[in-house]
Amino acid sequence: MLRGLYTAYTGMRNEQYRMDIMSNNLANADTTGFKKEGSTSQAYAEVMAVKIKDVSENPNTPKRLGKMSLGVKIGETFTDFSQGSLRDTGNTYDIAIGGSGFFNIEFTNKAGETSTKYTRDGGFTITKDGYLVTKDGDYVLGENGRIQLSTTAGTTVFDRSGNIFQDDRLVASLKITDFEDTNYLTHYGETMWDAKEGAVEQDAEDAQIYQGYLEMSNASVVKEMVNMITISRQYESNQKMLTTFDESLEKSMTLSKV
């Protein structure tokens, strides 16, 4: 019966974890370049159930308890990198990527340390010196480093390959990077990613650049709300199970005193 209490508890804990992820997705449904997350669940591995100091074994040697199940184990959190919808803004420096790939950003933290981050959020602008930057002021990187544009040019055009033309003259090219395995990317804030050790870069061959557009979040408000309702019901089911076991234990204790 105590195992039943533990099983219900792990179920509630897992649903709370899932609810946190769904809530974050819902909160960022309108965030440019946001990629929704999900989670996995798995049964407790039998190695989690052990008995200690079994006299039939060597002293202090843990031993498995067969196929004993101890409820739900929280699995991994994963990111869905599928394409979000493109919204027409008409702004010259709003850039969206169609297909795979990420913009390269020169990010500087509060300690003054500089590193390269990756993002799908193409809401850019230019500084008074002509540098192409994010809305937070971090430099957008091109094939030759920071991108500096003329602030007096008559026209600025980004073609599908990421080449930048001002007054019909090629002045720079966006650096678009893809990865063999996006599992090596970790979130940095809501719309940027870090590449972990082992990440392998590759050319984003199918990437196309759309000027005057922004890629919206790929999280659907309706789907996230449905998921949250499902999670709430599963949480309530485990809660009722916990209450039932608790009442059964209380009756057992009362009867044992008679």
d(CA 44, CA 217): 34
**Residue range 51-66, pLDDT digits in tens:** 555 556 555 555 555 5
Question: Does the pLDDT at position 168 exceed 60?
Answer: yes
Angle 144-153-117 (CA atoms, 0-180°, nearest 5)? Answer: 35
d(CA 230, CA 236): 10
> Identity (one letter) of the amino acid at 196?
K
Q: How confident is the model at residue 160 (pLDDT cuts 50, 70, 90)?
A: very high
* 11 CB-near residues (< 8 Å, 6+ apart): 71, 72, 234, 235, 237, 238, 241
Report which of residues 239 and 142 the model is more confident about: 142
SS3 85: coil
Q: What is the predicted pLDDT for the residue at 234?
A: 86
d(CA 185, CA 168): 37
SS3 193: strand
Average pLDDT of the segment spanning 82-96: 92
Residue closest to 148 by CA, chosen among 127, 177, 124, 120 = 127
Q: What is the predicted pLDDT for the residue at 106?
A: 94
* 23 CB-near residues (< 8 Å, 6+ apart): 228
Q: Among 45-49, 80-84, 242-246, whose mean pLDDT is lowest?
A: 45-49
Residue closest to 141 by CA, chosen among 91, 180, 102, 187 = 102
Reported as type and span, the H/E element at residue 178 is strand 176-179
Which residue's entry shows tokens 């219900």? 8
